[in-house]
Structure 1
C-alpha cells in the first residue's frame, strides 16, 4: 500500500517540502521512527545533537525539567565570570532594549551552559517555558535539556540556530533560539549569548543580531583580560575600528602574538599556534608597534601578506596604569608600510613591554628632576600609583641584589 513520507496511506509521496516545518517533520519521522539519517533536512549541528541525545538514552517525549544548579555552584559561576559579565554589561542592556518590542529573551551562559544573566520581559506570562528556564543558575546544557542553540554552542563552540521541531524534546518545540560563542584570550569558550522566543517566530535575522552582540562582548572581554598586553585594533577601513567588525590582537610582554580575534585571523591569515613573533604577523618590531597610540588617528600599515590596514594600539599595566598616551614620546613612529626585520642588527631599545614601562618612568622622572608629582602629571597617573610602581621596582632590585650576593660562585 503506497504511503506518503509522513506514513499516511493512499496518498502520493511528496518529493519536495516547501516550508522548514515540513522538512523538520520529515526529518523527525526518518530519525525517530525509521532510524534513518535525515541528511539535508536539518542542519548537521542539529543532527549531531540528536544523535548524542539518543546515545544517552533520552526519550524525545519525556518532560524537561529546568533545574537550577546548587546555590554554591551558581555563586561560583558568577564569581568566575565577573569579567564576562563586566564585558557584556553595556551590550546586554542595549540588546535587551533593541528587543523590547518583541517577545524575545536574552540569555548569557557560562562555558558549561549555566545561565548567568537572563532578561525579564513583561510578556513572561505568555512564555511558560522561557519563564521557567530564564533564571540565573539554570543549566541549559545539552545533557540537561537536549538539543537547543545554546546547548549546541556549549558542546561545539560554533554558532547555530534551533527552530521549533529541531529541538530534541517535543515539549520544547514551541521555542526558537539562536546562539553564538564568546571566547577568551586563550581561544577557549568563555560563554554563550542566546536569543530565544516562545510561541512565535523571529521576525528578524536572529543569527546576525546575536552574532554581532556576541562579537562585541568577546572583543571587550579580550581587552579586559589583556593587562600588560599591547592591544592592537586594525581593519581595512578606519570607519570599522571600534565596531564589532574590527580586528584585535594581543601582544605579550616578550613581543609575541598571544591572541587574535576571528577578524584578525582572517585579515592576517595567521593563527596564534606557537605564539608567533610580532614581525611575522605585522611586519614590525615591538618598538614599531608601540608607536601606535590611542590619542592619535589610526595609521596605515601594510601587513606581510600585502594587505593594507588602519591600525592603532593601546597599552596598560596590570595595576591599571595607562602608559599609552606617553609611549609615543619615547617610541619611534610607525612606518606606513612594513619594513623587513633584520635580526642581525641588535635592538638597543628594550624588547619587553615591562622594560618599556620602566624606561618611560625613569626618563620622565629624570626630565622632571625627580619631582614625583610633576612626573605623575606627565604620565597621566596619580602620585600614589607612581609611588607604588617605584616601590615595587626598588623591592625587585633589592631582592635581585640579595639573590646575586647569596648565589654560590660558579
Structure 2
C-alpha cells in the first residue's frame, strides 16, 4: 500500500468518524462494515485501544468449548510459528466473541500496542476497532487489515491477517490470526493459514466417539491431509456432521447442522456394492456421488466403545422409575457429555432442541 493510499484512508476515516460517507471502493466491503460497527460502538479513530482486564487467573479458560478449541488449534499455531514467527509478531486464536484462547508471540516489548494481546484478553471491535479476526468472524471469510485500514489510527504500522474457523455444526467459532509490525506476503500467508484452519477443524471431529469417521475427496492424494473432507456417520447410517470440504464436495449446506440424511441418500448415485463398503474398513475406494461425479471414500475409524466416567457412575434406572424420569436423566447425561452444547446433544438424541429443553425442565 502506497503512502498516498495510506493518507487517503486516514483522511476518509476521520471524515467518516464525523458522520460522512466513505468513498466508493476505498475499502473492501467487509472492512467498511467493520468501520461502521466500530463507529456505532462509540470508538473514535484517535483514541487508544481499550484492553479489558484479564481473568484473575491469566491464561485460564473457563468454558470447555474454548479449551477444546485451543487444543485443536495449538498444534497448527506451533507449525505456523516455526515458519513465519518473528520478533515483534504474534499468532493467536480468538473465539467468536474475540477472546484470545491460544497464542504464540516473541519480542512484543518492541511493539507496545500488541503487548496486551494474550490468552484471556478480549479483542472486540467495541474495544479496539477494526481487526482481521473481528472481520473474519463477522463475515465468515479470510481478512486482511493493513495500516490505516484499521479504525484506530495508532494501528497504522500494524499488519493483521486471519482465517475463520468452523465448528462441527458449520458455524463460525473463531479465527486464527497473525499480527505484527511491518509487512508480509498476504497471498502466501492466506494459503498456509487456510490449511491450518482446515486441520484445526478436522481435529474437532476427535470428540465424536460414537460415529463412523469417513474421509472423502475427488483426488485420493488429498486424503490424510487438511484438504480431506470428513463425514461423521451414526451407526444407523445417519449423517451427524461434515466439515466444510465435505460440505462443498457433496453439495451440503455450507453453514448450520447437516440435513437429516442417511448415508445412502448422500451417495444416491453409488451402486449397491459401493454403498455396502462405505462403513467398512479398508483402502480408499471410488464411489459415484452424482451424475458425472465420483469421490474416493475411506473409513478412518469405527465408533469407539468408550464408557465415560459419568456413565459409569450413573445409577441404573430401576423398573419402577417412570419412563419420563428415565428420558430426563438420559437427556441430562447427554448434555453433560456434550459440554453443555444443546444443539449437539439434541442431534445425538435424535430430537429437536425444543424437545430437549422440555425434557430438561421435566
What is aligned with 1:57? 42
CA contact (8 A) 2:98 2:124 kept: yes
What is aligned with 1:154? 137
What is aligned with 2:297? 311
What is aligned with 2:342? none
Aligned residue pair count: 311
What is aligned with 1:210? 193
Q: Does 1:118 align with 2:95?
A: no
Residues 20, 297 of structure 1: CA spacing in aligned structure 2 closer, same or farther, 3 A cutoff? farther
What is aligned with 2:77? 92
Aligned pairs (5 A) from 1:383-394: none
Residues 229, 401 of structure 1: CA spacing in aligned structure 2 closer, same or farther, 3 A cutoff? farther
Q: Does 1:269 align with 2:251?
A: yes
Aligned pairs (5 A) from 1:6-405: 21=6, 24-25=9-10, 27-28=12-13, 31-32=16-17, 35-71=20-56, 75-77=60-62, 79-101=64-86, 103-121=88-106, 123-133=107-117, 135-198=118-181, 200-203=182-185, 205=187, 206-221=189-204, 223-271=205-253, 273-283=258-268, 287-291=276-280, 293=281, 296-317=282-303, 319-320=305-306
CA drift at 1:175: 1.2
What is aligned with 1:358? none
Structure 2 runs not aligned, ≥5 long: 324-362
CA drift at 1:290: 0.9
Structure 2 SS opposite 1:37 = coil
Distance 1:254 1:20 in 2: 59
Residues 60, 204 of structure 1: CA spacing in aligned structure 2 closer, same or farther, 3 A cutoff? closer
Structure 2 SS opposite 1:185 = coil
CA drift at 1:156: 3.3
Distance 2:210 2:230 in 1: 15
Residues 77, 166 of structure 1: CA spacing in aligned structure 2 closer, same or farther, 3 A cutoff? farther
CA drift at 1:39: 2.6
CA drift at 1:270: 2.2
CA drift at 1:273: 4.5
Distance 1:269 1:228 in 2: 25
What TM-score do you get using the length of structure 2 for normalisation? 0.75
Greater alpha carbon shift after TM alignment, 49-58 vs 279-288? 279-288
Distance 2:302 2:283 in 1: 19
Distance 2:157 2:3 in 1: 20
Mark the structure with the bigger radius of gyration: 1
Greater alpha carbon shift after TM alignment, 71-80 vs 54-63? 71-80
CA contact (8 A) 1:234 1:311 kept: yes
CA contact (8 A) 1:106 1:193 kept: yes
Distance 2:216 2:159 in 1: 35
Q: Give the structure, 1 or 2, with the largest relative contact order (CA under 8 Å, sep 6 or more).
A: 2
CA drift at 1:265: 1.8
CA contact (8 A) 2:14 2:45 kept: no
CA contact (8 A) 2:17 2:44 kept: no
Structure 2 SS opposite 1:290 = coil
Distance 1:245 1:259 in 2: 16
C-alpha RMSD of matched pairs (Å): 3.2
Deviations 1:292-311 (A, max 9, x none): x2xx3211111124312221
CA contact (8 A) 1:77 1:116 kept: no
Structure 2 SS opposite 1:130 = coil
Structure 1 SS opposite 2:105 = coil
CA drift at 1:90: 2.1
Residues 60, 182 of structure 1: CA spacing in aligned structure 2 closer, same or farther, 3 A cutoff? same
